[in-house]
Amino acid sequence: MDANYQKGVELSLPQAFLLLATNDTDGEPEVEPAVLRAGVAGATLAELDLLGAIELQGKHVVTTRATPRTDFQHQLEILRDRPGLHTPKKCISMLESRAELHRVYDGMAALGIVEHVGERHLRLFRTTRYPEKDHGPEAALLQQIKAVLGGDSPGGDSSGSDAAGTVPADGAPYAGSFDPRATALVGLLYATGLFGKIFPAADQNRARDMARNYWPSRAVADALRMVRLAEAEAAT
């Protein structure tokens, strides 16, 4: 384990999402850039929501008077300072950026979790990759998600819990434990198409319910739906 990373330090949701969305070996994202940006923006909304800095009132995201200590103060100020009412999908477009991706990645690099690798091609183009340096944090995340799902391993047992501590329609509670951060991650992974890649044999319907029951992951899904519609129109 790298000396910079202290065991027990909880990653932010954007860090956790990016870590799971990045190939451990080559440091390349497992999804296309637009999906990655939307996922991190959704994870930022989820982080601020769990900190009590924002909340969903009706169809709009509003900031609260809470002033938690967070690495996403700039994003919180964006939501506070922009006039008007903003839907969750609009908030995704307000917060997503390539620069924010690299800021979150570099934060994990400073902790010794990933390594910042820059490469130049033909002296003109620079690519940046973030291969994994310490697998401990990702292993801990996977364990937390497994506990929520109620399974023993990625792609293993498909029993688990519903989102936001809810129960199935028949009223019987799911077998998994309730962890709001891990549950939020499941929703974000499902909304970005990553859940099935990481947990191919898990109950996809349950993960879909978690995504539908949590407004930041619904916002990501709505934003990506608009991206795909725009790409389809551009192709015709």
| Token reading at 185 | 């991650």
Mapping DSSP to helix (H, G, I), strand (E, B) and coil, where does residue 57 land? strand
Q: Could you give the angle at the alpha carbon of 11 between the alpha carbons of 173 and 108, nearest 5°?
A: 145
Choose between 168 and 37: higher pLDDT.
37
Please, which residues bridge with residue 167 across strands? none
Neighbours of 139 (CB within 10 A): 10
**What tens digit of pLDDT does each residue of 93-111 get?**
999 999 999 999 999 999 9
CA of residue 60 relative to chain centroid, distance: 20
Neighbours of 180 (CB within 10 A): 15
pLDDT at residue 4, rounded to an integer: 53
**What tens digit of pLDDT does each residue of 146-162 get?**
999 885 444 443 333 33
Q: What is the 3-state secondary structure (H, E, C) of 18-84?
A: HHHCECCCCCCECCCHHHHHHHHHHHHHHHHHHCCCEEEECCEEEECCCCCCCCCHHHHHHHHHCCC
Rounded to two decimals, what is the model's pTM? 0.85
**What tens digit of pLDDT does each residue of 190-210 get?**
999 999 999 998 989 999 999
Helices (H), the chain: 13-20, 33-50, 73-81, 88-95, 98-110, 136-149, 180-191, 195-198, 204-212, 215-235
pLDDT at residue 122, rounded to an integer: 62
What whole-number distance in Å separates Cα of residue 164 and Cα of residue 138?
A: 22
Q: Does 229 score more than 80 pLDDT?
A: yes
